[in-house]
A and B are shown apart, each in its own frame.
Chain A
Amino acid sequence: DIQMTQSPSTLSASVGDRVTITCRASQSISSWLAWYQQKPGKAPNLLIYKASSLESGVPSRFSGSGSGTEFTLTISSLQPDDFATYYCQHYNTYPYTFGQGTKLEIK
């Protein structure tokens, strides 16, 4: 199985900050990566697919980059609604696996 490792596990930041979350795959997954946002008690929400394609309706302050084994999710200017947990997910081979999550907290 491909292991997905996110860093950091927890990130404290302030409204207006630019933040970056990293996701590393244990082997190359080309660009077959998605990012999700999850708020407590809710289902996840798709943000990014194919490493850098922004899902319709997702604010443009979210962006994704990377290929191969290293990927990043960047939020250019944090808004109050962005404090949540973020997950990466590969869909290169079966089984699809997720990173362990990055909790974005208010500083």
Chain B
Amino acid sequence: QVQLVQSAAEVKKPGASVTVSCKASGYTFTAYYIHWVRQAPGQGLEWMGWLNPNNGATNYAQRFRGRVTMTRDTSINTAYMDLSSLTYDDTAVYYCVRDRSENTAEYFQHWGQGTLVTVSS
């Protein structure tokens, strides 16, 4: 079965960077786009962008451009999301999510368990 297993929770200081990993199993990693979606405590969902694991192409939401980098390592079926220049507003649960259909970036079928990133001084 499809599984996305994310890295453990992180606590970071303002101005620091964080890397969240997402290890995929149960399907062909390079066939499905990976999205990153975040959710601040008690708030709604926010799409950050997608990664095409086949060729490394990315598309970031404008508000994160310059701060977010999405990469992958196909040898270990793992996607990464780096977010830099953290502020308190970046405190959130970060989800990696697999698209429903091959080679498309549309909507979100399989979700990781989420990684809580807390920004605190």
Contact = CB atoms under 8 A, between A and B. Distances in A.
Nearest to A55: B109
Interface in A26-77: 32, 34, 36, 43-46, 49, 55
Given A94-B61, A95-B62, A44 B107 contact: no
Interface string B83-101: 0000000000001000010
Contacts of B44: 87, 98-101
B107 A34 contact: yes
Contacts of B112: 43
Interface residues of B, number: 19
Main secondary structure of the interface of A (DSSP, over half): loop
A82 B11 CA distance: 34
Contact of B59 (A94, A100, A101): A94
B102 interface: no
Interface of B: 44-47, 59, 61-63, 95, 100, 105-109, 111-114
21 contacts: A34-B107, A34-B108, A43-B111, A44-B45, A44-B111, A46-B107, A46-B109, A49-B107, A87-B44, A87-B45, A89-B47, A91-B105, A91-B107, A94-B59, A94-B61, A95-B47, A95-B61, A95-B63, A98-B45, A98-B47, A100-B44
